[in-house]
Structures are given as C-alpha cells and as structure tokens.
Structure 1
Amino acid sequence: MANSTALAVRVERASAGNLVRLGRTIRSQDPTWGTQVFSVADGVAVLCGDGFFVNALFAAGLTEQVSANDLDQFEQRCAAMGLPSSIEISSATRPELARFLPKRGYETSGSVEAFTIEMDDAQITRVEFEVAQSGPNLTIESANEGLLGLWQETCAAAWGHTSVEARRASDTFAAAAAIVDGPGLLIARDESDGRPVATASVTIHDGVATLGGMSTLPAERRRGIQKALIAHRLGFARSMGCDLAYTTAVTGGDSARNLARHGFQHLHTKTTHVLKSSATGV
C-alpha cells in the first residue's frame, strides 16, 4: 500500500480523536464514572472507568518518543483509578516504544487487525450492488434520538451484557456515542415485522469514517446483516465527504475474513500491552 506509514498515522490519530470525544462526553454526561482524558507525549490516554472497554493509552509514539517519565505519570493515574496500565501500539508506533514495553513489565494481552478502504474503491459499488440484489430486507435508521433505548437494548442483548454493572457501562457508552456519532449511530430492523436485529455506528473525524458498534443478535446471524450494514455505512461516509473508511476486527476471526472479502485492505496489526503488576495487583 502506497505511503502506508502516513496512512497508518492518519488512521491512528483519527481513531484516538474519536475516543477522546467519547471519553469527554461520558465525563460530561455522568461524572460519577471518574472518566479521565489526558495527553501522554504525542498520544492520549482515555480512561473511561472500571467496566468500560476503553481504558488505555492510544496513538502514543507515532511521531515523538515516549519517555520513562511519561509512562510513570500514566501508570500512576491508572493506579489511582484502580485500572491496569494498558497501551495500544501498531506498526505506526516508533520501534523504541515497542522494545521498551517488555523491559518495563508489559505483556501482550490481545490484538486486532486494522483495515481500510478508499471511498472511490470500485469494491464499494460491488458490495452495495450485492446487498441491493440479495441482501436481507432491513430498515436501517439513525438511533441517536428516539431509538437510542432500542439501540441500547439490542446491543446489550447481542453482547450478553446481563449484569447491572455491565449494562450500566454499555448504556452509558451508547449514550455518549449518540452524541459523538449523531446520525451515524444506527439500528437495523427486519422489514417483515420491525424487530431489531443489529446495531452499528460510523464515527467521522478528519475525513476518516470509523466503522464500529457492530453487534448482531445471535438468532439473526449469518443472514448477511453485517454486509448490509457495511454497505450502508460506506454510503453514509461517502455522503459526508469522507475519503477513507477504517475498522478493526479481532485477529483470526470471521469478521476479519469478511472485511477482506468486502474489499477492505489490511493495514496493520494493533496490539494491546498491559503492565503485569497492575493487571495482577502485585
């Protein structure tokens, strides 16, 4: 991929920018979570709070060196919130940070694959055509206003958020996404009876459309719903003037293979590193 380093930096900064807006919105909507958003070198830490899946340092070490003092301060603030120190890096990260983390006691805890597609890619037209010809009969609507409650119910059911704590975090995150994403927060319903089947989102920042929030109810899977929601969001992104779409999928999972089939190009692998002592409480 031409100029892949510059593309990777652009994508990582856009992704981090989305998380900053989400974190700040959560902090504004419900201060009881104690959400913190702060800079670390050239990156940003978004610590939404215990129970959220966004609690890490993002986009650090892209253009500047991350010092030991930077990490000291980050780790201290994580500890004060009772959170493990977690750092996300990618191929766009300066190599010295990747080499330094294991020496400091960080261990790899997981990875996702980053994919992109350009808005003028002919593959988008192909996917849209295939969905129009043989896709599931869906009504896809913005859920940032009157349908937010239905979005929250559907997402929680799809992900299995059954406990009070998990549901509170899930609903809080969705309410923040409704503000950040606006009409890009989407719910899909079956046209035959109006029942909800899936949720999705598209977040726009600096011309990059980030596809996220994808969850499908277990009974509705393998109907082509994901493909239909991808096509819808790409069309939305194009109408908003974006030139690039970006998304991630768990390494080795079905979603990663589906994205490749739909024309997305693999950009890089993103790995999460957790400080061992903070993760174990030692």
Structure 2
Amino acid sequence: MQHTPSLAADAASPSPAGGRSPLFCDGPLAERIERAEAQLMAEACAAARRRRADTAGFVMKVAGGVASYAEPESPFNKVAGLGFGGVPSAGDLDEVERAFAAHGSPVQVELPHLVDAEIGAVLTERGYRLVSFENVLGRPLGDERVRDLPEGVEIRTSGPDELDDWLDVVADGILEPDTQGLPSHEEFPRDVAIGAMHDLTAATGMVRYSALRGGVLAGGASHRITGGLLQLGGAATAPAHRRRGIHTALVAARLAAAAAAGCDLAVVTTQPASRSQQNVQRSGFELLYTRAILVKELT
C-alpha cells in the first residue's frame, strides 16, 4: 500500500498554541524533503560549473540521494538524501569515495535519522566518523499574512542589480555567526561562501530577499519552491543590525509568498539549539528530524 506524506498528526491529538495539531513527520514526508534537498545540491553544482565555465565537479545518484562535488571547500561537497532508496551497496560507496578522492576531498554524508539504521553501521565500518548534527524543521502553510515589520525595517525581493551587495551582506552575517547552540563543524573562506551563495541564487525557483533597516541593506535571505514545498535558504543579518527582528521578518515574508504560491509546507535546516532554530520555532516551525553528519577523511 502506498503511503502519502503526512502533514499533521491525528485531528484528535492535543493542539499547541494557535489551535494547530502538531506536525508529524513520517518516512514519506522526510523522503519528500530529502529528495528536494538532493535536487538542490545537483542544481547548485551545475550552477557552479556554469559560473566557472568548466566541467569540473560531479553529481552521482546513490541510494535515493546524490553525491555532489562543486569545487574545493564548497558546502555542496556532500552526500544528500541518502537512504530512501535502500542501503547503499559496497560498490556504490566505493564509486562515491573514489570520486571524492580524485578531487582531494573527504566524503561528508548527511544521514536523516528516519532511514534504515543499517546505513549508519555500514558507514561506520567503512571509517566514517560522526562529527555533528543538524535539525530539519517544518511548518504547514495556510493563509499566511506578513506581520507588522519592526520600526525602520523594510523587506523586499532583491533584483539582479543588487546581487553583489546582497552577497556581501549575507556573507558578513554567515561568517560571523551567533554563538548560541552547537557550533557548525564547517567553516568556509569568504570567497567560497560568496561563490556558493551565488550558485544557490542560480538554482531553479530560487528567490532572494533583502532586509533594509533605516534604508541600509542589513540582511538577506532566499527561498526555493519545488513541488509545493518551500525550502528556506540561509538567512543572515549583518552583525550591526542584529536583535532588531530582521530574521523573523525575513521568515514571515517568505512564508507569505509561498502560501500565496500554493505551497503546503515550509522547511528549514538549522544548527541544533541555535538562535536561528529559536527564531523559526517562534514562527511556528517544529522539529521534524535530525541529520547525523558523518565524514570519511582522505587516507
């Protein structure tokens, strides 16, 4: 019998504040989210090749997900969406590991906790090491309305003439993160971070937003819509403009736009216990599942 992704718990279950039943994530819903993430990685790698005007990098299908490599130190160098096509074979993993090794790169696997636990055992036996976690949160969409903005703050879509300034301010925010919660296991050089954000903006369906405070560009964010699913891209606020409600305003604007476009679900990835997670939970997001980050270093 085929299952459809579940967006809510049984109607008889207790409702949280606001009268909405808790969001329930089963395997099919997690698979929907992970397939969208894998597709985004593939599109970002293709955009990186276009930016560099070369054929370097790769995207390989593996066990329902993709193994992707864009360029040295890129955040797109990973295995995403793994496990919803079954346990990867030794031959599949050999091929993936050879491809990364040919580029002098370790292999990073983002493994959702809702897949077969045997995958974790297989990876561990091959020398993969648990290095971190990240949380995937979701929120059903209905009749969303943009909240009143904080005084002096404006949120608008960002045009191509503003791209360089947008990249600069988002890079400033990303490269000086808040210290709340578990730190990320990854750090990227500024030029790599800017290149990666440029590539993400070129992905199918990606829309950029700018936040202005007092007329000054103070932050930015992006989103992508695919198959009724809103993927919230990284939002960042320049350090001088933090604690002014900008992050929350950027979330609200994107939720309203996605609801107007007919999306039924919004998802976002955060570091555990981070301020970003705290902000999106205040906006109605709930924890759906956690990804374990496993890395096999070059030998």
Task: Give the TM-score, by structure 1 length.
Answer: 0.87
2:230 is matched with: 209
TM-superposition CA deviations, 1:180-214 (whole Å, max 9, x none): 26661111112x3x211111010111211111121
Aligned letter for 1:139?
E
Instruction: Out of 75-84 and 250-259, give the one that drifted further.
Output: 250-259
Aligned counterpart in structure 1 of residue 153 of structure 2, from 130, 135, 138: 138
Aligned counterpart in structure 2 of residue 160 of structure 1, from 175, 181, 189: 175
> Residue 47 of structure 1: CA displacement?
1.0
1:188 is matched with: 211
Change (3 A) 1:3 1:177: closer
Aligned counterpart in structure 1 of residue 195 of structure 2, from 172, 176, 179: 172
Question: How many residues are matched?
Answer: 266
Kindly indicate which of the two structures has a greater share of residues assigned to helix: 1
TM-superposition CA deviations, 1:200-234 (whole Å, max 9, x none): 01011121111112111111111111110010000
Q: Is 2:41 the counterpart of 1:26? A: no
2:16 is matched with: none
Change (3 A) 1:29 1:75: same
Compute the RMSD of aligned alpha carbons. Answer: 2.1
> Residue 114 of structure 1: CA displacement?
0.6
| C-alpha separation in 2, matches of 1:172 and 1:241 | 31
Aligned counterpart in structure 2 of residue 98 of structure 1, from 120, 130, 154: 120
CA contact (8 A) 1:89 1:271 kept: yes
Aligned counterpart in structure 1 of residue 35 of structure 2, from 10, 13, 16: 13
Aligned letter for 1:141?
R
| C-alpha separation in 1, matches of 2:34 and 2:123 | 19
Instruction: Out of 225-234 and 84-93, give the one that drifted further.
Output: 84-93
> Residue 39 of structure 1: CA displacement?
1.1
1:238 is matched with: 259
Aligned counterpart in structure 2 of residue 226 of structure 1, from 222, 247, 255: 247
1:70 is matched with: 92
Change (3 A) 1:35 1:149: same
Q: 5+ residue gaps in structure 1?
A: none
> Residue 92 of structure 1: CA displacement?
2.7
Aligned letter for 2:167?
Q
CA contact (8 A) 2:172 2:238 kept: yes
1:84 is matched with: 106
> Residue 83 of structure 1: CA displacement?
0.8
Task: Give the TM-score, by structure 2 length.
Answer: 0.82
Aligned counterpart in structure 2 of residue 254 of structure 1, from 275, 280, 286: 275
Aligned counterpart in structure 2 of residue 51 of structure 1, from 62, 70, 73: 73
Change (3 A) 1:5 1:136: farther
Q: Which runs of 4+ in 1 moved over 3 A?
A: none
Q: 5+ residue gaps in structure 2?
A: 1-8, 10-23, 177-187
SS in 1 for 2:73: coil
Seq. identity, %: 28
SS in 2 for 1:196: strand
> Residue 167 of structure 1: CA displacement?
3.2
